[in-house]
Amino acid sequence: MDDNTNKNDNNKNDNNKNDNNKNEKIENDKKEEFGISNKEIAHDGVLRSNSVNINENNIISVKNISDKDVVELQRIKSNISRTSTKNSLPPPERRKNYQVRAMIRKTLAYQKRQMGTNICCVGACPTMMIIIAFLLSLLVEHLLKDLIKTEKYEYCTKEFNGDFVLPNSEPQYKKDEPDVHICHYSKGSGSSNQSPCSNWFGTNDYFESYPYDILPDNYDSNINRDTLFMPPLDKSGNYQYMINMMLSLTQTGKAIKMNYFNNHNKRASDYLSQLRKGANLSYIINNMLRPWGFIAINKNNSTEKALIGERNEGPSNITIAEINSDKHTLSNKGYLDYTFTRYFLNLDELKSETPSLTFERVPYFEILEVEDDKEIDDLLAKRIRIINKMLSNTTFDDYTKEDKEEIDFSIFQSTEKAIEKSVDYMPYGVVYFENLEEEKLKYDIMIYIGENAKLTKMYSCTACTVSPYVVFPGRGKRLLYFITELTNSIIKKVSNNKYTITQGLRSFPEKYTSGLPIDLASLIGIILFPWGVSFLLPIFIIGLVKEKEERFLVMMNMNGMKSITYYVTVYITNLILSVISMIFFNIAGIICGMNMFVKTSLLVMTIVFIIWANVQVIMSFVLSFFFKRNGTALISSFLIVLLSIVFSLGLSEIFESTYAYFIWPPFAFYFILSKFSTLAVSNIDPAYQLHNFIPGDRVFNATMYLIVDSFILIILAVYFNAVIPQEFGSHQPWHLNIVERIKKLLNKNNEIDIENVEDITVKNPFYTEEEANDAKTLEDDDVRTERNRILSGKYDHNSPLIIKNIRKEYAPRVKGGKPHVAVHSVTFAVEEGVVFGLLGPNGAGKTTLIHSLIGVYTPTNGYAKLAGYNIKTDMDQVYKRIGICPQHDILWNDLTVLEHLLFYARLKGIPKDQEYAAVQESMESVGLENFKDNLVNGLSGGEKRRLSIAIALVGDPKLVFLDEPTTGLDPDIRRLIWGILNEISHNRTIIITTHSMEEAEVLCHRIGIMSHGTLRCCATQLRLKELYGSGFKLSYSNDPKNYKELKEFIINIIPKDHKVVRDLTSTSIYEFIPTQGLISKLFELLEENKEKYGIIDWGISQSSLEEVFLSIISDDDADAS
């Protein structure tokens, strides 16, 4: 019982073990297909492993895959036989990435040797722009000094105090500065816009404002009842001062007209000389106001109407003597009753044929009862329309009935008179009392202050025959008046006339120099400053284009450099250089005392310049993608900067109120520079400061555009890098395959039964029957045998190079045409320690095949493993384990041998503690250890070639690609290189592309010959010579006496179908195809009969590889390029 139980248990265990072994075998079968697992098949072909799932029935389920990729997966699977092997190559150890350290160390070494260039470009160039602008301004000022007389003025000076217009005697100068004229008024924006330095709104009991305004001694308390709103010029008041001036003139009326019409546009120098001719009278007239406005109240609120009160237009014939005794009172005691009464000089009467000096009481208000604020807007719009019609000299018949209801035109004798009086009908503003709660001191009031530009311009029009008789003040002065009067009225009513408010406005002192109206240094700087901060843009573009043109970037990419690492490092380097340049630029400007640098906020300038430095670097990336040659980039980039500077000067004036043109970053930055420079020399506005740098300010907005532009440029740089075709590498279509990407996301779950897919590509690995037929003609049996060997998995899976059906197509040049196939489904493997020569004429596809393997181009289809890693999924690890020596030496002239090797060692992931040992080993292998500190610029051609080979060998790669390693070298150097390659080929696989048959014979163990993208043959040298050579050659030299006997002897021992190449009495050559054992027999016979037949020298050689090559490659093949 126990025995049976044990036996059953043992049987059960055996069955379990057999099941486990069976399951393990099935699992192994699933894991291995000629050394590649099913999951890896899908992973290598078109998918990522996390999108692949294999079930028990060997069905691969994939997610996020397009229809195109489904077909591709089928092709990949069907290219692989189901034969299992036991010697699968386990993935080698993965190396870390040291690309950032490699780029940083290389950049530091390179920039150290570029110190002279950097000092010149980064420091000297911007400094020179400042110095040139400074020296040119001095030169021009010196040349113009004798041609243009200059005088200095100080407006709104505090000297002597008071607010009188001009000094009492002429000329009057500033104390201790005899060349500076003092002027007690503001210069304004033009010579005709002089205004008082002080304006006081409120009652006549304002405070003294030392040191600017000091009231005259013993002044009358009622003198400030005029509408000039400025301190009195005389102790008796401004009106009395004006009358005294008039009395001092003869022909008073004529003088008044003359001064009123002619002198109000005179320059400051004219005022100094016209003191006794009535200029002060003109000054007073130009600053006199006639304030009135609308008071709007709600129709349905009688309480508000009572609180507000009334103040209607008063008489216009009050004399100056009656002003002091005017006892005018209002019926109500509302807010308007408490408005301070002033008297406006009736200029219309003063200008009449019989001038009279009369005044009218102001302010006055018209009451409007409205339902909402829209009625106010409509009223003001209608009033402005009518006023503009009056200013247009419209005939009275052209006014509408509605216009005539608004204004009584019957009082005007002519349209010219209507123009003069038009200003009387334009209100200074509207005060809308929306809600009043006096007991709570809560007031909801809206003040409307608009502008009528036409009315303002007509008054100051010197060419006009008629204009408004009095000025219409600006919005600021009218707003200040209304606010003061309104708040004063409310507080006086609430406090029972106990308190008042007086508001004052004082202009800053301002210096002005006549003659040259501009700051020459700043004017020249507006043109030169942009050059000083933009010259690095072309230099950055040239640097990027040079790295592409001279293939530095491609060389780095072929050694594992990621584009993101390269561009970020270049970005940081160029940004640092750009910031240093800006520092030099600003320091030079401060040292030279340029106004923009001395007066403008340093913090704001720092922010703007750093942002521009960033934008400039990113712009260089974007623009560099459009150039392939350094010369073109040089000319075009400087032209871009020049045109940007020229156009920015005009666009800032044309598009003064828009920001659209700031989308081009130089326009935004040059505008900011121009604004800084203009404000720094302005006599009106202060230099730009930090408190100005706020949203809504044009400089702030331009800076925000620069920030937005920088992000747009980054997106464009990434996009152009992906889609713009370059000389090397692949690119994506302009649409970035967005549709395919969307389809992948939408196809959530696709399943493919790999077992049921017809194995068509094993029978026919080509895309079309036509290609298959061509292959039967072009490929020999050895190529087909090699393909079957690889696809069946009967090869050493430790081979460093395994290629399966690699294919490369290029898009058709003509839309709708066939794609150009550069490489047709090449398949072979190269074992460790083998030197494989890839031969073929130009255009045969050799370089395209190699570039497809090392990542320069992306293969259209196929599978390849280099050094144990898949080129589609693990290219970063492939780069760290292969070596590449390009056809031409791609080396930096300003780096040493050691620095080159360290750079590429770091790219290949050699740890820091091992990199020097790896570099030393690489140098010793090519004999460069004594040249390690030499700059590349000082190396010979052969030494540079050895350095390129050393770069390929650094890190002890198991697979090395050498592209024509000795092309263009002297014979001695070439043989030296061959010796080096023979030594390094032990335990290392080398792939050589060459046109030298001699080089291939010396170096290569196996040779493949390509033409028209097809591998024509693939075998050892001996095999190729046997198949395609003309046989063997027997050559000898002899004593002419034995010519006939020797010739008869030779003909008898070689095959009868031999060919006579040379037949001379002293030397002869015969070509023949040997039979089995003939060669050894010939050796014996010739050596035995050497003396008998007078043979001096003899030799037997096989056909050369060049003859084999020529027999395979036809003339048409040679013209494939």
Q: Which of the pair, 133 or 239, is modelled with greater confidence?
A: 133
Whether 50 has a pLDDT exceeding 50, the answer reads no
Quickly count helices (H) and strands (E) in the chain: 43, 29
CA dist 790 and 826 (Å) reads 11
CA distances from 1037 to 417, 1065, 1066, 1096, 1097 (A): 131, 9, 5, 6, 5
CA dist 949 and 807 (Å) reads 28
Residues 648-685: tens digit of each pLDDT? 877 877 777 778 889 999 999 999 998 898 888 776 67
Whether 44 has a pLDDT exceeding 60, the answer reads no
Whether 744 has a pLDDT exceeding 70, the answer reads no
Residues 798-836: tens digit of each pLDDT? 899 999 999 998 878 777 778 888 898 899 999 999 999
Residue 989 · residue 959 · CB < 8 Å: yes
Helix (H, G, I), strand (E, B) or coil at 814: coil
Give the residue from 1016, 961, 968, 948 showing the smallest Cα distance to 992: 961
344-348, 468-472, 514-518, 1102-1106: segment of lowest average pLDDT: 514-518
Whether 43 has a pLDDT exceeding 80, the answer reads no
Task: Please report, for the chain, the start and end positions of each structural domain, with discontinuous segments joined by +.
Answer: 106-113+528-723, 292-495, 769-1019, 1030-1102
Specify the pLDDT at position 125: 82
Whether 234 has a pLDDT exceeding 50, the answer reads yes
Helices (H), 413-519: 415-421, 453-459, 475-494
Average pLDDT of the segment spanning 191-199: 65
What number of other Cβ atoms are within 10 A of residue 77's Cβ? 20
Mean pLDDT of the chain: 78
CA dist 571 and 583 (Å) reads 18
Handedness of CA 708, 710, 713, 717 (dihedral sign): negative
* Winning range, highest mean pLDDT, from 190-194, 228-232, 814-818, 1004-1008: 1004-1008
Specify the pLDDT at position 191: 42
CA dist 310 and 294 (Å) reads 11
> In sequence order, what are the residues at sequence separation of 6 or more whose Cβ sits closer than 8 angstroms to the Cβ of residue 761?
75, 78, 79, 805
Residue 902's pLDDT band, with cuts at 50, 70 and 90, is very high
202-206, 355-359, 532-536, 840-844: segment of lowest average pLDDT: 202-206
30-44, 458-472, 961-975, 1081-1095: segment of lowest average pLDDT: 30-44
Whether 1103 has a pLDDT exceeding 60, the answer reads yes
Query: What 8-state DSSP symbol labels residue 417?
Result: H
85-99, 355-369, 678-692: segment of lowest average pLDDT: 85-99
Helix (H, G, I), strand (E, B) or coil at 1028: helix
Specify the pLDDT at position 877: 86
CA 938 to chain centroid, in Å, comes to 37
Residue 155's pLDDT band, with cuts at 50, 70 and 90, is confident
Q: What is the DSSP string of 160-193?
A: T-S--SS-SSSS-EETTEEEEEEESSB-TTSTT-
Number of residues that this document lists for the chain: 1121
Specify the pLDDT at position 257: 36
Residues 923-949: tens digit of each pLDDT? 998 889 999 999 999 999 889 999 999
pTM of the model: 0.65
Fold of 769-1019: Rossmann fold (3.40.50)
List the beta bridge partners of residue 367.
295
Residue 52's pLDDT band, with cuts at 50, 70 and 90, is very low
Instruction: Determine what percent of the chain is predicted with pLDDT higher than 70.
Output: 76
Q: Which of the pair, 95 or 108, is modelled with greater confidence?
A: 108
Helix (H, G, I), strand (E, B) or coil at 423: helix
Q: Which of the pair, 610 or 107, is modelled with greater confidence?
A: 610
Average pLDDT of the segment spanning 760-779: 67
Q: Are strands 173-174 and 177-183 parallel, antiparallel or unpaired?
A: antiparallel
Residue 271's pLDDT band, with cuts at 50, 70 and 90, is very low
* Winning range, highest mean pLDDT, from 256-265, 437-446, 611-620: 611-620
Residue 452's pLDDT band, with cuts at 50, 70 and 90, is confident
Fold of 1030-1102: Alpha-Beta Plaits (3.30.70)
Specify the pLDDT at position 431: 94
Residue 795 · residue 789 · CB < 8 Å: yes
703-713 burial string, b = 16+ CB within 10 Å, else e?
Answer: bebbeebbeeb
Specify the pLDDT at position 214: 56
Whether 171 has a pLDDT exceeding 70, the answer reads no
Give the residue from 661, 589, 811, 596 showing the smallest Cα distance to 130: 589
Same fold, 769-1019 and 1030-1102: no
Q: What is the DSSP string of 3-71?
A: HHHHHHHHHHHHHHHHHHHHHHHHHHHHH-BTTB-HHHHHHHHT--GGGEEE-TTSEEEESS--HHHHH
210-214, 243-247, 600-604, 609-613: segment of lowest average pLDDT: 210-214
Whether 495 has a pLDDT exceeding 90, the answer reads no
Give the residue from 285, 292, 276, 278 showing the smallest Cα distance to 194: 285
Token pair for residue 101? 């350290």
Specify the pLDDT at position 87: 39
Residue 242's pLDDT band, with cuts at 50, 70 and 90, is low
Specify the pLDDT at position 972: 86
Token pair for residue 952? 């390929």
Specify the pLDDT at position 6: 47
CA dist 285 and 238 (Å) reads 11
Burial class (CB within 10 angstroms; exposed 0-12, middle 13-18, buried 19+) of 254: exposed
Helices (H), 967-1020: 971-984, 997-1003
Residues 554-573: tens digit of each pLDDT? 888 888 888 889 999 999 99
Specify the pLDDT at position 985: 86
Residue 189's pLDDT band, with cuts at 50, 70 and 90, is very low
Residues 1053-1075: tens digit of each pLDDT? 888 888 888 888 889 888 887 88
63-77, 335-349, 835-849, 1033-1047: segment of lowest average pLDDT: 63-77
